[in-house]
Amino acid sequence: MKWLRPLLWAVLALFCIGIAVMVPRALDAYKTLDTERNATPTPTADTQSMFYVTVDPNNTPEPTPLVLKRGMENDAVKKMQQALKDLGYYEGAVDGQFGSGTAEAVTLFQSQHGLTADGLAGSDTLSLLYSSNAEKYVPTPTPTVTPSVIRKGEHSDRVTAVQERLQELRYYTGAIDGQFGGGTEEAVRLFQRQNGLDVDGIIGSLTLTAMMDENAAGIVITPTPDPATLPVLVNRDNPLDASFVPDNLVLLRNVLPSSLVYVKGSEIEGDPTAADALGRMFRAAANDGVTNWQISSGYRSYAYQKKLFDDSVDEFMAGGSTYASAVSSTRLTVADPGTSEHQLGLAFDITVPDTAIFKGTEQQIWLYENCWEFGFIIRYQEDKEDITGYLAEDWHIRYTGLPHSLTMRNRDWSLEEYIEAMEP
């Protein structure tokens, strides 16, 4: 197909000639169109006298247009800019270019002098501007802007200011980055609860006023609490003695109003201080509109934990497991006797009546967000499984008291990490 190549060349050549002819024509057509579009009607003799003054043909070869407007560039504009600048209306460059800044200045000048504020500098505007009646720019007072709420998702300087203040008050330990994220929201909620405000994590005018008040209550977190007051650590490496029984256990049904929480077993006991904190916590939850709580477990004696453990081992062995494998299977979910926090009387399993899965319920979410303020911690968390040695348990809370629980929350520490950090 050798004949094809010359043919292609011929076509290509014709095509190029076509472009060479067509493009300039198209450009000319476009230019004409453009000129027509922008053209102002040719002034008649009468209108010409209105728009142009010819003072002295020798000194001003080009007539100076009396109406200065956007898009112009000449010395008249420059002179006007200087005058507007001297009076405080204009802050831009005195360059003779009539741009948007100049138009704005003209409009300002006009409105302050009772002229039609159109940004076109005609003879009325200009003669007033250059007269002794021209007044200096008086800024109109900006009306006080009611601050809109500051909430999660905002990224701004005012978020930075809030973070700095919350850090000062020790509610916030995250980065001061102006980004209103989960940590900032958490700190706002803490602040609100401890300052008697509605707890919603959103900064409205009430929260903002309280926060910026010089008497705003800060969290008291002792950086290094007395080791003697540190919470007791109970885990596989730190078991309790078989004989350990906490003092003054109280029956939860006797101390917690059934209107706040349903205690599943009539025999469930707990430490009195922890039980008192439970009462305050469920009352706060009710105030937040979260009710229908259940306590399914509290204090467990060593003997009871041993029975739970042995029963589970027996069950695995009945299913054909060896003793060793039955024990290791049991250990995944049941604590060895002596290694359960429930023996302290400070641990409780919180659930929702007649609900098999606690995770994801509004109660679980509320508990996770708020238990810390009442001295409780979510003891076994998903990202701490390697450290605690237990699978996550959303329902298991442990009373450590304040400020420990808040410090663990703020630092994102498990009890193991907290004890290690605090012990001398």
Cβ at position 270, least distance to Zn ion in Å: 12
**Residue 226: burial class (beta carbons within 10 Å; 0-12, 13-18, 19+):** exposed
Residue 338 Cβ vs Zn ion, minimum distance, rounded to whole Å:
15
Q: How far is the CB of 241 from Zn ion (least distance, A)?
A: 20
Q: Which stretch binds Zn ion (CB under 5 A): 90-98, 321-329, 389-397, 413-421?
A: 389-397
Residue 397: CB minimum distance to Zn ion, A: 8
Q: Which of 170, 253, 384, 396 binds Zn ion (CB under 5 A)?
A: 396
Going by the DSSP 8-state scheme, the letter that residue 394 receives in this structure is E
CB 305 within 8 A of CB 338: yes
Nearer CB in complex with Zn ion: 256/308: 308
Query: What residue has token string 């109109």?
Result: 140
- The owner of tokens 């605690």 is 388
Identity at 178, one-letter amino acid code: G
Beta strands 393-399 and 376-380 are: antiparallel
Selected range binding Zn ion among 34-42, 70-78, 161-169, 344-352, rule: CB under 5 A: 344-352
Q: Which residues of 125-148 are buried (b: 16+ CB within 10 A; e: fewer)?
A: bbebbeeeebeeeeeeeeeeeeee
**Contact by Cβ (8 Å): 246, 224:** no
Instruction: Return the number of the residue (209 or 355) whose C-beta is nearest Zn ion.
Output: 355
**Cis ω for the linkage preceding 143 (within 30 of 0):** no
The stretch near Zn ion (CB under 5 A) out of 136-144, 167-175, 200-208, 346-354 is 346-354
Closer residue to Zn ion in complex, CB, 380/413: 380
Q: Which helix (H) or strand (E) holds 270?
A: strand 269-270
* Closer Cβ to Zn ion, 292 or 296, answer by number: 296
Q: Which is nearer to Zn ion, 271 or 349 (CB)?
A: 349
Closest to Zn ion by CB, 186 vs 393, is 393
Minimal distance, residue 225 CB to Zn ion, in Å:
25
User: What is the closest distance, in whole angstroms, from the C-beta atom of residue 293 to Zn ion in the complex?
Assistant: 15
Give the whole-angstrom CA distance, residue 157 versus residue 159. Answer: 5
Long-range contacts of 67-71 (CB under 8 A, 24+ apart): 67/120, 67/121, 67/122, 67/123, 68/98, 68/106, 68/120, 68/121, 68/126, 69/98, 69/103, 69/119, 69/120, 69/121, 70/98, 70/99, 70/100, 70/102, 70/103, 70/119, 71/98
Q: Per-residue x/- mask for Zn ion, residues 317 to 336, rule CB under 5 A?
A: --------------------
Greatest Cα pair distance in the chain? 120
Stretch that binds Zn ion, among 123-131, 205-213, 348-356, 402-410 (CB under 5 A): 348-356
**Nearer residue to Zn ion within complex by CB, 184 or 305:** 305
Closest CA to 281 of 393, 210, 368, 354: 368
| Residue with smaller CB distance to Zn ion, 80 or 397 | 397
Q: Which stretch binds Zn ion (CB under 5 A): 251-259, 303-311, 383-391, 396-404?
A: 396-404
Taking CB positions, which residue lies at the least distance from Zn ion?
396
Among residues 101, 121, 100, which one has the least CA distance to residue 110? 121
Over 315-352, what HEC string results? Answer: HHHHCCCCHHHHHHHHHCCCCCCCCCHHHHCCEEEEEC
Beta carbon nearer to Zn ion, 396 or 409: 396
**Which of these is catalytic: 185, 269, 373, 393?**
393
Q: Using CB under 5 A, which of the segments 142-150, 158-166, 222-230, 342-350 binds Zn ion?
A: 342-350
In the complex, the smallest distance separating the C-beta of residue 336 from Zn ion, rounded to whole angstroms, is 14
Number of residues that bind Zn ion (CB under 5 A): 2
Q: What is the closest distance, in whole angstroms, from the C-beta atom of residue 264 to Zn ion in the complex?
A: 13
Task: Check if the beta carbon of residue 207 is closer than 8 Å to that of residue 180.
Answer: no
Q: Smallest distance from the beta carbon of 166 to Zn ion, in angstroms?
A: 33
Cβ-based neighbours of 322, under 8 Å, separated by 6 or more: none
Q: Interaction with Zn ion in 66-95: which residues (CB under 5 A)?
A: none
Under a CB-based contact definition with an 8 Å cutoff, are residues 345 and 271 in contact?
Answer: yes
| 393: annotated active-site residue | yes
Q: Is 398 in the site for Zn ion (CB under 5 A)?
A: no
Q: Which of 186, 269, 349, 369 binds Zn ion (CB under 5 A)?
A: 349
d(CA 366, CA 364): 5
Q: Which residue is associated with the tokens 């709580």?
A: 293
Residues annotated as catalytic are 393
Query: Residue numbers of the site for Zn ion (CB under 5 A)?
Result: 349, 396
